[in-house]
Amino acid sequence: MTSEPIDSANAADPKDLIPVLTLGQALQEKMPEAVESYELDHGELIVRVRKEGLTDVMAFLRDDPNCRFAQLMDICGVDYPERALRFDVVYQLLSLKYNMRARIKVATDDKTPIPSVSGLFNSAPWFEREAWDLFGIMFDGLADHRRILTDYGFDGHPLRKDFPLTGHVEVHYDDEAKRVVYAPVTLPQDFRVFDNLSPWEAMTDVQLPGDEKAGENPHMPKIGWQPVAKSQTE
C-alpha cells in the first residue's frame, strides 16, 4: 500500500485517488469478514462494516503505519425507519499524517447494541452518548449512557424520524411555584403554512424606517419599495 500523502478534499486527477482506493481494497482483503463494501465519495473513502468487526477495523485504521487515522472527528446517526436495520452509525476519521479522511458506516436496529470504540479513541464517549441520547443507539462497552443534550427524564429520542415534531412536554417558568416546570404540550392552533413572503412586500408605496439606506448597499436584496435617485438638477 502506498503511503504518499494526498489532498483528498481537492483531488482532481484520478491518479491522486489511488492511495484511497488501495486502502479500501486492502481493508477488504485483510478483513473480508468485517468489511461489507467500500466506495469513494468526493475523494473520501466510505467503508461499510459489520458491527461484529467494527473495533478490528477501527484499530487497524488507527494503528497501521500506512493509515494512521488517529483522530475520531465525529460519530453520528442516520435514521431510516423503513429498514429492518433502521440506523446507520457513521464514524468520521482523519489521518493528519497522510491528509486523508475515511467514513465508516455500521448498520444496526433499535435493540442491538454495537461495540463501543471508547477504548480506542478518547473522543468516542462524548459522541456515543450523543448518539444514544438523540437516536437511542446503544453501545456495548460504553461506561456512561447518561443523556448529554436532553434532560435526564426526557421521553424518547428526538432525532428519530418517528419522534413527534411537537415533542411530548413543554417547559415554562411557573411564577407561583417559583421554578421551571414541565407540562404536556398544548398547541393553541394547528401548524400554520407560510408562503415565506414578507408581509411588508405589499407596502410598495410606503417608505419604511431604514429603507432610505437601501440604496447605499449594492448587495442588499431589491424587495418592495426602492429609493428613487434624485435628479442632478434638483
**pTM greater than 0.75 (yes/no):** no
On the question of pLDDT at 217 being above 90, the answer is no
Structural domains in the chain, sorted by start: 8-152 (3.30.460.80), 194-227 (no CATH)
pLDDT of 157 > 90? The answer is yes
Rounded average pLDDT over 212-218:
54
Reported as a single tens digit per residue, the pLDDT across 31-90 is 999 999 999 888 789 999 999 999 999 999 999 998 999 999 999 999 999 999 999 999
pLDDT for 51 equals 94
Closest CA to 47 of 24, 29, 79, 70: 24
User: Rounded CA gap, 23 and 232, in Å?
Assistant: 69
> Cα separation of 115 and 106, whole Å?
10
pLDDT at 18 over 60: no
Euclidean distance between CA atoms 230 and 234, whole angstroms: 7
* DSSP secondary structure code for residue 25 in this structure: H
DSSP 3: -
The bridge status of strand 44-49 relative to strand 114-115 is unpaired
Cell triple for 31 = 478483513
